[in-house]
Structure 1
Amino acid sequence: MPDLDTLESRTAFREWSARSPGQRADPSRFGMLAAALGVEVQHPAPALGVVGSKGKGTTVAYASALLAETGLRVGTVFSPGLVTNRDRLRVNGAVLPLDDYTALLERVDAALRSLPAPADGYIAPSGFFLMAGLVHFAATGCEVLVLEAGIGGRRDDLGRVGLAGLAMAEVFREHTDLLGPTITTIADDKVGAARPGTRFVSHLAQSEEAEAVIRRHCDAIGTDRMRVDATTRAPYAGVVAEGLGGMNAAHGMIAARRLLAELGRPDATPQQVRAAAARVHYPGRLSRHQLDDSTVFVDSAVSRDGFENALAHVERETGAQPALTLVSVPREKDLDGFRTVVATLAGRVVFVGLERVHLHYPERDEWPGEWATADDLPALLRSAPTVLAIGTASFSSEVLRHCGVDTDRVF
C-alpha cells in the first residue's frame, strides 16, 4: 500500500506547502488546471454546491444520499474528509478504490506540474481535491454532483464551477482575514458561489444582515431563493434528528429535491426520504463511540450554541455532563463563546492543539484551563468514563481516527 501521507503531500498539498509568507491562493490556477486536464468546469454534470460556516458536511451527506436513493449516480466532494483526505471523494457514498485514488492524484499533479510555476499564488488543497473529483466523476459517469466548498464561496475554487443550485448553511463570523470582517462580507462571499445560470439558492434562516445579502445577490443574478426554517423542516420531523444537525440534514434533502425538480425528474417519495435518512452514516456529528472503557461523543460544533447543544445531548444520553471535555477551536471560530461555556462546566476541560493544521489557535494563556497536543489524545480519550470531543472538523477527524471509526461509506 502506498504511503498516502507522502503521496498527498507531494501532490495535493505541494503548492500550498511551498507558499511564501502571506501568499494566498491564486484563483486562476484552478481554471488553468481544468484546461490542462480537459475538464469542463462551467458545465459539469448538474451540481449542487454547499457553502456556509457550519453544517456543510451534514448538508452534503443527506443531499447526496437522497439523490442516490432516487437512482442517480452521485459524485460527492467533502471538504475536509471525515478521517483522511481519501474520504473527500466519493461515488454513491463510497470512497474511491485505493488504486484509483492514487492514480487520480498522480494524474492531476502531472497536469499541475505542466503549468507555469506559481507566480501570483498557489492552488489550495481543497481546489486540488475538487478538481480531482470533477475528473473522476466525469470518467465514471456520475449523473449529478454535490460539492462542498473549502473556505468561502466566491473566493473558493467552488465559485469557478457552474452550479445548478447552491445550498447555504449557517453563516457566522469566521476566517475574517480572508472573507472580510463582518457577517455582511462573509455572507456576500459565500453566496457569491452562485452565479448567473444557478437556478436556485436554498439557505437556512440567517441573521438579518446575512439574509439581506442573500436576497440582494439572488435578485441581482435572477436566481430563485428558498428559505429553510422550522416550518419548512416540519415534514422531516421523525425522519432526521432534532437540533441544528437535523436542520442541516433536512436542508440537504430539501435542496436535493429542488435539484431533482430542476432536472425534470420525479420528486423523491416519502419512502425514499426515510430510506435515505436511515442509510446516512456520518460520524463526528453528535456521534457516540466506545473506546475501551470510555464512551466518547464527537461533535464538529464551533459555536457556543453548538457547544451547549452537544453538552445537552450528552446529558440526555448519559444522565450527566461529560466527565471530560476535549475542545479544539481556533480564533476564527466562536472561541469567546466556547470560553463562556467552559466557565460553567464542573467537569475537567482540556484544550487540544493539533499540529500540521492551518488554524490560528489561542495562546496557552488565553485558554482558561489545561492544554494538550495531538500526542496526548489516545490517553485522554481513555481517561474518563464519558468524554465529549468537540471542535473543528479536523479535530473530529483526529478523534474518529483514534476511535477506529469506519468511514469508507457515508450511506
Structure 2
Amino acid sequence: MKSMAEQVTDTIRWIFSSYSRVPRERRQGFDRDVRHPEWTRRLLDALGKPDEQAYNVAVTGSKGKGSHAILTAAMLQQAGVRVGLFTSPHLIDFLERIRLQGLPIPEEDFVRIGQSVREIATQLPVPEDQYIGPVGLVAAIAAAWYRERQAEVVVYELGRGARHDDVNQVVHRGAIIAPIFGEHLDRLGPTWDDVVIAKMGILTGQTSWAAVSAQPPHSRKVMAPFLTAFRAGGGEVLEVGGEVEWSRNVSADGAIVRIQGPGFAVEARVDERLLPYADNLAASAAAAHCVLRDLGRPAQALEVDLRGLALIGRLQRVERRPDVVIDGAIHAESAAYVRRFVEAWRVAEHGRGQVHLVLSLPDDKDAEGVLKELGPLVHTIRFTETTNPSLHFARDLVAVAASLGYAASREADPHRAIQSALAEASPDDLVLLVGTQSFVGDALRHFRVPTGSIWISGGEGGMPC
C-alpha cells in the first residue's frame, strides 16, 4: 500500500502525462497554434459541469495576477463568503494551487478527486498530437472539489494568457484584469498587441463585469476596443483611475486604503507590505463589490482588515533584525513595487539601516530593469541561481551591474548567497531576496516559511477571520 505522499506524487505525475507524451516540437510555438483548451471544457462537461455550481471570477494580466486573486478572495472571506482560491504556480507544495477559505486542499481529497477526474479524462478522444493542459486538469480537480465543499465563490488565476488558456474554460461571471505588459512574446506574441489581445479573451459570453487595474498606456490603447465592445454588449467595466479611485492614510496606528467606485466604498486596513499594492487593492475591492452585489449581500460599504494576510512570496517579511523580505520581481515593472517598499522602509527606519540585495534572475528575465529600479537604493548586490535545474544562468550579471555603475558579486548556490547576505547585515538592516519564482521557493524553504494558509496566525494583525 502506497503512502499518501506517494499517492499525491502519482497524481501529480498523471497530471503532466498528457502533456509529456506529445513530442516537444509539437508543444513549441504560439499558444494559439499548439494549445487546445477545448479539451478542458469537454472534461468539465463530462464531470457534470462542476464549475457552474459556484460564482466564478477569473484573473488575467502580466503582473499581479496572484496578488489580485488573493486580495479578492481575502476580502470576500472577510465579508462572510465561502470562497475558493485557485492560483499557479505553487512555490513549495503543489496543493497550494487549490485553496478553500485560505487553506489548501487536503492530500486525501486531492488524490480521491484526482482519481475520479482521471477516470473521465482517459475516456476523452484526445488526438495523439494534442494534450489536455496540466493546469486544465488541476482546474478540473479544483472545480470538482469546490462543488463538493459547496464553495459559494471561486477566484481562478489564469495562466500566461486567456484566449487560449485552459483555466479560462471555467465559466466565470467576473473578470479581473491586472496590468498587462509585452511578456511571453514567444508564446503570446510576437508583439505586445498580441499579448493584450490574448489576455482580453477573459471577456467571454458569460462574463458580466470586469475590474481593470491601472494599465500601461499601450496596453490600455490596445484593450480599448475590447472594453468598448464589452460595454456595448451590456458588460460593466470598473477601471482603477477611472470609475474607481483610491486614497491612503498612513499614521502611527497603521495604514488605511480607501477605495471608492460607483455605489460602493471599501476601507482596507493594511500594513506597510500592502501599501505598494494600492492599485491592486482597488481593483480587488471593485471585484468584491460586484460579487457581493450579485449574491445579494451588503455591497455598498465594506471594511476589511488585511494586516494578517500573507501575500506569499510577495514583499513577504520572513524575519526581523535584520528584516528579511522575499519578492518575485523579475522585471522593471514588478521591481517598482519593491522599490516603493524599500523607500517606505527607509523612512520608517529614519535611514539607519543598509539594504542588501540577493538577486536570482535567469537569462530570460529583465536584469537591467530590476537593477535600474533597485540599484540606487541598495548597498550590496549578490547574484545567485536556484535549485531548479531547468533554468539557465549564463549571463554575466556582475558585468551587467558594473555597466550600470553598481558593484556586485556572485554565489551560485542560493542558500550560501542568503547566508552570506545575512552574515554581512546588521540588526538594523534590510535583506531583500528577489527573483524568479523558483528562487522565491528556495528562500521560503531556507527560512522554513509555511505556505499553506494565506492568513498569518499571530504576528502583526493576527488571524483576522
Q: TM-score, normalised by structure 1?
A: 0.87
Q: Residue 307 of structure 1 aligns with which residue?
A: 335
SS in 2 for 1:274: strand
Which has the higher relative contact order, 1 or 2, with Cα contacts under 8 A spaced 6 or more apart?
1
Q: Distance in 1 between matches of 2:12 and 2:292?
A: 38
What is the Cα deviation at residue 372 of structure 1? 5.5
Letter aligned with residue 107 of structure 2: L
Which stretch of structure 1 is more off in the superposition, 386-395 or 295-304? Answer: 386-395
Q: Residue 248 of structure 1 aligns with which residue?
A: 280
Matched, 1:399 2:443: yes
Which stretch of structure 1 is more off in the superposition, 118-127 or 85-94? Answer: 118-127
Q: Residue 225 of structure 1 aligns with which residue?
A: 237
Q: Verify the 8 A CA contact 1:70 1:268 in the aligned structure 2.
A: no
Which among 1, 6, 23 is matched to residue 3 of structure 1?
6
Q: Residue 44 of structure 2 aligns with which residue?
A: 34
Which among 413, 417, 422 is matched to residue 380 of structure 1?
417
Q: Verify the 8 A CA contact 1:89 1:95 in the aligned structure 2.
A: yes
Letter aligned with residue 290 of structure 1: E
What is the Cα deviation at residue 147 of structure 1? 0.5
Matched, 1:106 2:139: no
Q: Residue 307 of structure 2 aligns with which residue?
A: 278
In structure 2, the CA distance between the partners of 1:305 and 1:35, relative to structure 1 (3 Å rule), is closer
Q: Verify the 8 A CA contact 1:87 1:408 in the aligned structure 2.
A: yes
In structure 2, the CA distance between the partners of 1:370 and 1:182, relative to structure 1 (3 Å rule), is farther
Q: Distance in 2 between matches of 1:74 and 1:86?
A: 16
Which stretch of structure 1 is more off in the superposition, 188-197 or 302-311? Answer: 302-311
In structure 2, the CA distance between the partners of 1:268 and 1:68, relative to structure 1 (3 Å rule), is farther
Instruction: Identify unmatched segments of 5+ residues in structure 2.
Output: 28-33, 249-256, 259-267, 400-407, 423-429, 456-465
Letter aligned with residue 232 of structure 1: E
Q: Verify the 8 A CA contact 2:22 2:128 in the aligned structure 1.
A: no
Q: Distance in 2 between matches of 1:155 and 1:330?
A: 26
Q: Distance in 2 between matches of 1:342 and 1:196?
A: 42
Q: Residue 221 of structure 2 aligns with which residue?
A: 212
Matched, 1:234 2:265: no
In structure 2, the CA distance between the partners of 1:73 and 1:312, relative to structure 1 (3 Å rule), is closer
What are the residue-to-residue correspondences of 1:26-175 with 2, within 5 Å?
26-41=36-51, 43-175=52-184
SS in 1 for 2:73: helix
Q: Verify the 8 A CA contact 2:47 2:120 in the aligned structure 1.
A: yes
Q: Verify the 8 A CA contact 1:294 1:383 in the aligned structure 2.
A: no
What is the Cα deviation at residue 168 of structure 1? 0.7
Q: Residue 12 of structure 1 aligns with which residue?
A: 15
Q: Distance in 2 between matches of 1:342 and 1:405?
A: 25
* Paired residue total: 401
Q: TM-score, normalised by structure 2?
A: 0.77
Which stretch of structure 1 is more off in the superposition, 303-312 or 391-400? Answer: 303-312
Letter aligned with residue 329 of structure 2: A
Q: Verify the 8 A CA contact 2:8 2:110 in the aligned structure 1.
A: no
SS in 1 for 2:452: coil
Q: Verify the 8 A CA contact 1:228 1:251 in the aligned structure 2.
A: yes
Instruction: Identify unmatched segments of 5+ residues in structure 1.
Output: none
What is the Cα deviation at residue 177 of structure 1? 1.2
SS in 1 for 2:155: strand
Q: Distance in 2 between matches of 1:321 and 1:156?
A: 43
Q: Verify the 8 A CA contact 1:297 1:314 in the aligned structure 2.
A: no
In structure 2, the CA distance between the partners of 1:60 and 1:391, relative to structure 1 (3 Å rule), is same
Superimposed CA distance per residue, residues 100-128 of structure 1 (whole angstroms, 9 cap, x where no aligned partner): 12222233233322333543432232222
What is the Cα deviation at residue 47 of structure 1? 0.8
Matched, 1:263 2:333: no
Q: Distance in 2 between matches of 1:215 and 1:377?
A: 43
Q: Residue 370 of structure 2 aligns with which residue?
A: 338
What is the Cα deviation at residue 341 of structure 1? 4.8
Superimposed CA distance per residue, residues 301-340 of structure 1 (whole angstroms, 9 cap, x where no aligned partner): 2221432542553462664443342223552x53441354
Q: Distance in 2 between matches of 1:7 and 1:322?
A: 43
Q: Residue 389 of structure 1 aligns with which residue?
A: 433
In structure 2, the CA distance between the partners of 1:356 and 1:255, relative to structure 1 (3 Å rule), is farther
Q: Verify the 8 A CA contact 2:339 2:374 in the aligned structure 1.
A: no
Q: Residue 351 of structure 1 aligns with which residue?
A: 384
